[in-house]
Amino acid sequence: MRDLVEIGMGRTAMRGYDLDDVEIVPSRRTRSSKDVSLSWQIDAYRLDIPLVTHPTDAVVSPATAIRIGELGGLGVLNAEGLWARHENVEGELAQVVRTAEEGEGPDAAIAMLQQLHAAPIRTDLLTEAIKQIKDSGVTVAARVSPQHAEELTPTLLAAGVEVLMVQGTIVSAEHVSQEGEPLNLKRFIGELDVPVIAGGVGDYRTAMHLMRTGAAGVIVGFGQSRSATTTQTLGIGVPMATAVADAAAARRDYLDETGGRYVHVIADGGLSYSGDIAKSIACGADAVMLGEALTETSEAPAQGYYWTAAAAHPNLPRSEIVGFNSAGVDLNTLLFGPSSDPYGTLNLFGALRRAMAKTGYSELKEFQKVGLMLCR
């Protein structure tokens, strides 16, 4: 039974734990990091590292999606972002950055993003961006919101998208609306021949419901980061260690329910350091979704600034534009080192490999069984 805490007379709250609240416990065995595999497979697509990019224009352009794919991850382009709306995206992003760092400030930059996203989606630009990724030979992934999934998916599939992500701040299998017919996720996924990753979710029940729609992967978390303001604006947040563990429990029960259908759990939020990546996998995730961490690279389109796709919401933006002291390293160094930084912001997947080796595990699915201990 989940621990319930009384927060006032007649009102209780469930106790949950963030990644900072748990530590990985070494076992009696260690192994060489050279014997550790970080590969995983979603549907027919095998990836060398458990990395899915957060679909924001700040870090994912067609060029960076290609580079991430070449390095073994899955780069996800936002199909409702600037590359689908404007021809000179680099120039528009540079103007947003100048506005954020000079006189007018972050609020004016958010207003500029909203204005840029008010331009209509052009299927020719979207097709061109997807085709650029497709022609490189890497796995092609794109994100749509639930509101525009049915409208944009035919264009994406025709352009060559191989993995589709349906992502919103919160995605459920039972959306209720009086303003027309909402997306029927189960029917939508059932009619597609490509795997669908859906989310975010924060609890066992919603994760199970999304798994029952036929999703190949479920995103856990709401992209919590320095830039995300979902907690401030909506009062909604999830403790990531608990949320990932609950979704992993749903995955296990769904595996039993279906007689063997495995749904991948992807952690999205609270991932500031390489140790957080390791702890997410240890709590049960199959992969992690990184956004802010990628701003450290010289390839990031927004030149060291970061925001989530929710920053451009026309009525209630849920992300600020945050500037980071970019290290100017390339993506290869960020992901695989070498690093002179002792704090876990570089060599992210080299660190995951070392954590698995130090605890004696050679595969990601094995590492999900590593011992954990509460430290707070």
pLDDT tens digits along 146-196: 989 999 999 999 999 999 999 986 665 554 444 556 788 999 999 999 999
Q: What is the pLDDT of residues 29-67, one digit of tens each?
A: 899 999 999 999 999 999 999 999 999 999 999 999 999
Q: Is 50 within 8 Å of 40 (Cβ atoms)? A: yes
Q: What CA–CA distances, in Å, run from 179 to 147, 235, 291?
A: 12, 25, 33
CA angle 172, 261, 16 (to 5 degrees): 50
CATH number of the domain bearing residue 260? 3.20.20.70
Q: What is the model's pLDDT at position 176?
A: 42
DSSP state, residue 26: P
Distance CA 82, CA 75 (A): 16
Backbone torsions φ then ψ of 89, nearest 5 degrees: -65, -40
The domain in which residue 235 lies consists of 2-372
Could you tell me which of 134, 187, 121 has the C-alpha nearest to residue 163?
134
Rounded to an integer, what distance in angstroms lies between the CA atom of residue 19 and that of residue 185?
30
Q: What's the total number of domains in the chain?
A: 1
* pTM score: 0.94
Q: Is the pLDDT of residue 131 over 60?
A: yes
Contact 251, 26 (CB under 8 A): no
Cα–Cα–Cα angle for 39, 45, 49, rounded to 5 degrees? 25
- pLDDT in the model for residue 228: 81
* Amino acid residing at 10: G
